[in-house]
DNA sequence: CATCTAATTGACAGTAACTATCAACAGCGG
DNA sequence: CCGCTGTTGATAGTTACTGTCAATTAGATG
């Protein structure tokens, strides 16, 4: 039987795994930056990180997953749930988003911007990311339902969640003229503006 | 110099191409139904349709594209644009959706349901379909802007479009209990209900 | 009808993302 | 020090997709 003291620091094995994982990810992102996503092969990443190609796939199920490990929505939803129930869902989510962004340190923000740019640019990544939105809708819906004491599968709650995700999509995704500078830090500003419009009942 | 009479019926070449395309698509859908999407290889489809694998890729850029050629949104947006500008965007889109579904003949509806079920079930397809939603948001946004005499890139119009697509996503995508019967014909009913909620200002 | 041209096709060879398997190895507990 | 278990790398496959090239064929022209 293995005793697990609460404060025990992870053993050598765990630390090594974490380092390997970080190394793969960093080399991958560097190569993507230098050569582009498509032009970079998994073998190249593996060699750069000094592991075998098989090991790469042990750490990341697909090449896409090296880029896509965003936990931002999880954080935001966590905030969201703890805001007073008096706030409307949209208002609360807006505040939660702001708080979550504010809590990021510059290093995380920079890495986030890099992966976000990749995600919006490379079709495969964009598709995968969009797909995860359906999971996000479910999470926001549950949280909304919980906040207002409803059934977790409540249709109205799901609809609100869908609208929130939808307006964020619309505000975030590149369109016509500004296809270049999606990485601008005012991404948060656009999200906030979109949520404000939704909160105001989508005036036209 | 080649003269192209307006009313010329497509030559033998064009007809043959159309038939080949249809054959590939039908055999593919049949095989997907019988064996599942992943278990069916492009080679199998090509053999069933009696063409070479290379020809398959000449007609469909990827295996995914055999399933994903939905023009429903285009039709709905067409309807949408011609509805009186007095209707709010959401109300108009709701009506346009109903009209579009009503105009479908049973055969089209059946094929639509089959591809929809596949799309919601197979991760790759779902991801690709979701990605196309960003295009759809843009289209709805332009149409909305045109209806209300605004700039095609108007932010408020984009936000409305995002909300519409978002609530349709929320209403359409499978969640918890009913992961099985997404194909039920009441998909339209759920979409309509979601748009109704959005129209009413997302009451909770 | 004969012929020329351009589109369509199939065969072939190649790349890259995965998957499965298995033997070697390294940390960890006794 | 020893055995157990988790981690690794090598190897060999499968499959989606790409490029090229020669053979065929529809369709226009004389």
pLDDT digits (tens, 9 = 90+) for B84-101: 999 999 999 999 999 999
Indicate the residue of B137, B166, B190 with minimum beta-carbon distance to A163.
Answer: B166
Q: How far is A36 from chain B (nearest CA, A)?
A: 20
Q: Chain B within 8 Å of A204 (Cβ-Cβ)?
A: yes
* Interface check A86 vs B, CB under 8 A: no
Candidates B133, B159, B194; nearest CB to A171:
B159
Look up residue B33 and give its two tokens: 């139904």
Q: Do B204 and A166 touch (CB under 8 A)?
A: no
Residue A173's pLDDT is 87
Nearest to B162 among A131, A137, A167 (CB): A167
DSSP string, A25-80: HHHHHHHHHHH-TTT--HHHHHHHTTS-HHHHHHH-SSSHHHH----HHHHHHHHH
State residue A78's pLDDT score: 96
Of chain B, the percentage scoring pLDDT greater than 90 comes to 76
CA distance B3 to chain A (A): 36
- Specify whether the CB–CB gap between A32 and A118 falls below 8 A: yes
Q: Alpha-carbon distance A40 to A61, whole Å?
A: 17
> Distance (Å) from CA A127 to C1' C19?
23
- Measure the CA–CA gap between A204 and A181, rounded to whole angstroms: 26
Q: What is residue A179's predicted lDDT score, i.e. its pLDDT? A: 52
For residue A159, give the nearest of B137, B176, B197 by CB distance.
B197
* A126·B134 Cβ contact <8 A: yes
Tell me the C-alpha distance between B86 and B100, whole Å.
20
Is the CB of residue A146 less than 8 Å from the CB of residue A83? Answer: no
Other Cβ atoms within 10 Å of B151 Cβ, number: 11
Give the DSSP letter of residue B8. P
Residue B2's pLDDT band (cuts 50, 70, 90)? very low
Residue B93: closest CA among B160, B28, B149: B160
User: CA of A57, closest CA in chain B: separation in Å?
Assistant: 18
Cβ burial A105-143 (10 Å sphere, 16+ → b, else e):
eeeeeeebebbbebbbebebbbbbbbbebbebbbbbbbb
pLDDT of residue A180: 53
Which pairs count as long-range contacts for B72-79, CB under 8 Å and 24+ apart, including other chains? B72/B100, B72/B112, B73/B136, B73/B139, B74/B139, B75/B100, B75/B103, B76/B100, B77/B139, B77/B140, B77/B143
Taking the C-alpha atoms of residue A149 and residue B20, their distance in angstroms, rounded to an integer, is 56
A61 touches strand C (CB under 7 A): yes
DSSP E strand boundaries for A76-192: none
pLDDT one-digit tens code per residue, B49-89: 999 999 999 999 999 999 998 889 999 999 999 999 999 99
A13: nt with nearest C1' to CA: C27
Give the closest nucleotide to B8 (alpha carbon vs C1'): D27
Instruction: Determine the pLDDT at residue A6.
Output: 43
B123 has a chain A CB within 8 A of its CB: yes
Cα-based distances in Å from B16 to A63, B10, B49, B67: 40, 10, 13, 21
Interface test with B, best of A63, A68, A130 (most B CBs within 10 A): A130
Residue with more model confidence, A7 or A58: A58
- CB distance from A197 to chain B under 8 Å? yes
Q: Give residue B113's Cα distance to chain centre.
A: 11
In this predicted structure, the answer to whether residue A7 has a pLDDT above a threshold of 90 is: no
Residue of A nearest to B128 (CA): A127
CA distance between the termini of chain B? 65
Nucleotides of C under 7 A from a protein CB: 7-12, 15-21, 27-30
Q: What is the DSSP letter of A83?
A: S
Asked whether the predicted pLDDT for residue A9 surpasses 90, the reply is no
Compute how many other C-beta atoms are within 10 angstroms of the C-beta atom of residue A189. 11
pTM: 0.89
Report, in this order, helix, strand and coil percent for chain A, each rounded to 5.
70, 0, 30
């Amino acid at each position: 039987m293995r005793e697990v003291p609460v404060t025990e620091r992870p053993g050598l094995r765990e630390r090594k795994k974490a380092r390997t994982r970080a190394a793969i990810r960093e080399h991958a992102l560097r190569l993507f930056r230098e050569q582009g996503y498509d032009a970079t092969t998994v073998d190249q990443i593996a060699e750069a990180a000094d592991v075998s190609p098989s090991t790469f796939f042990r750490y990341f199920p697909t090449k896409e997953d090296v880029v896509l490990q965003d936990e931002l929505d999880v954080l935001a939803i966590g905030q969201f749930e703890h805001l007073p129930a008096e706030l409307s869902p949209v208002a609360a989510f807006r505040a939660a988003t702001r708080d979550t962004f504010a809590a990021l340190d510059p290093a995380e923000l920079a890495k986030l911007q890099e992966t976000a740019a990749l995600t919006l640019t490379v079709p495969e990544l964009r598709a995968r990311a969009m797909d995860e939105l359906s999971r996000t809708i479910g999470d926001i819906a549950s949280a909304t339902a919980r906040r207002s004491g409803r059934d977790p599968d409540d249709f109205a709650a799901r609809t609100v969640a869908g609208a929130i995700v939808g307006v964020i999509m619309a505000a975030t995704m590149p369109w016509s003229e500004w296809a270049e500078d999606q990485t601008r830090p005012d991404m948060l500003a656009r999200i906030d503006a979109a949520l404000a419009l939704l909160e105001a009942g989508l005036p036209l």
